[in-house]
Amino acid sequence: MNPVGAANRPLIALTGATGFIGQCLLRELPRRGYRLRVLLRRPSAVPMDAASAVVGDLARPQNMAAALADVDAVIHSAGLAHAMSGLPEDDYRMLNTEATIGLARAAQRAGAKRFIFLSSIRAQAGATADHVLTEDLAPQPTDAYGRSKLAAEQGLAALDLDWVALRLVLVYGAGVKGNMAELIRFARSPYPLPLGLLHAKRSLLALDNLVAAIDTVLTAPERLRRPLIVTDPKALTIPEMIAALRGGLGRRPGLIPVPLSLLQTALRVAGRSEIYQRLAGSLVADPSALSRLGWAPTVTTPEALASLARS
């Protein structure tokens, strides 16, 4: 599936093109030599260098045979996000598991060569882990979101289709929301931050490195049929993240070494105990298996964070 020329560029079907990751893929994959056909829930404008097909709700899709005709691969990035907390487990199962398997079956019937599922590290572990995560470890998801992603992977494994599930850690880049957006707001504030003694490390994934990973699995010559962890190679502590973000703004880190017990107490009194759990917990993952396929990150985490702060 290597790009070879304008007339023979691989045709990729993409779901979730309106999301944070999908918008990036819609912009970057054509630059890497791919043609895109965007699968849409309802009619919508797409860039001039992408085609589109309206398939409706992926839980009850329509016109899938036509939408997937002649595609070389499918990238499935649509689904319920982890941030949508409080939803019933059945909703996650229907939209993250059953819709994924149904789309993969349609891709198999259409003759697609590979199905790329954007899964999550939460299919493998909870919000924190006391050991480095690799694909060889038994998955232990702790919430409905993670269980739905793992069940989708297991459903793909039961099909006669070449598939890969990319277990993504926290993805960051322009337009990011959620926990990373909150950290950026902290970093952009003019005040010193009482976070200097936070030593737990967290794995992150720059959008540019994710695009390179997707390109790697699209062009891998061998059958994959497995999950692969995707993360920037080096995990950082929260102080290192703040330093990189503020460095991008031309500022000093401005971090105060407040004892963790005092920080935890202050956040509990403020009714924000969940923030301490996010700040103090470790989650480190190892992308070695992906690297062995030839993936090479295009940017370091400090470089990407500094660029994000400037943007």
Averaged over 281-298, what is the pLDDT?
A: 97
pLDDT single digits (tens) 72-93: 999 999 988 865 556 678 888 9
pLDDT value at position 2? 47
pLDDT value at position 140? 96
Domain ranges of the chain: 8-174+204-231
Does the domain made of 8-174+204-231 have the CATH classification 3.40.50.720?
yes
Question: Which H or E element spans position 101?
Answer: helix 99-110
CA atoms within 13 A on the CB side of 41: 11
> Residue 52 is encoded by which pair of tokens?
């589109």
pLDDT value at position 84? 55
Out of 90-94, 100-104, 136-140, 226-230, which region has the weakest mean confidence (pLDDT)? Answer: 90-94
Confidence tier at 63 by pLDDT (50, 70, 90): confident
pLDDT value at position 4? 46
Phi, psi of 145 (to 5 degrees): -60, -50
Q: In whole numbers, what is the pLDDT of the chain averaged over residues? A: 91
pLDDT value at position 54? 82
pLDDT value at position 133? 98
The DSSP call for residue 77 is -
Distance CA 240, CA 244 (A): 6
pLDDT single digits (tens) 237-276: 999 999 999 999 999 999 999 999 999 998 888 888 888 8
Confidence tier at 7 by pLDDT (50, 70, 90): low
pLDDT value at position 48? 66
For residue 290, pLDDT beyond 50:
yes
Amino acid identity for residue 169 in this structure: V
75 and 169 Cβ atoms separated by less than 8 Å: no
High-pLDDT (> 90) share of the chain, %: 75
pLDDT value at position 56? 78
For residue 67, what are the contacts with CB-CB under 8 A and spacing of at least 6?
A: 13, 37, 39, 53, 54, 55
Confidence tier at 6 by pLDDT (50, 70, 90): low
With 0.75 as the threshold, say if the pTM is over it. Answer: yes
Distance CA 195, CA 280 (A): 10
Averaged over 167-191, what is the pLDDT?
A: 92
Out of 16-20, 268-272, 285-289, which region has the weakest mean confidence (pLDDT)? Answer: 268-272
For residue 105, what are the contacts with CB-CB under 8 A and spacing of at least 6?
A: 159
DSSP β-bridge partners for residue 38: 14, 52
Distance CA 307, CA 120 (A): 25
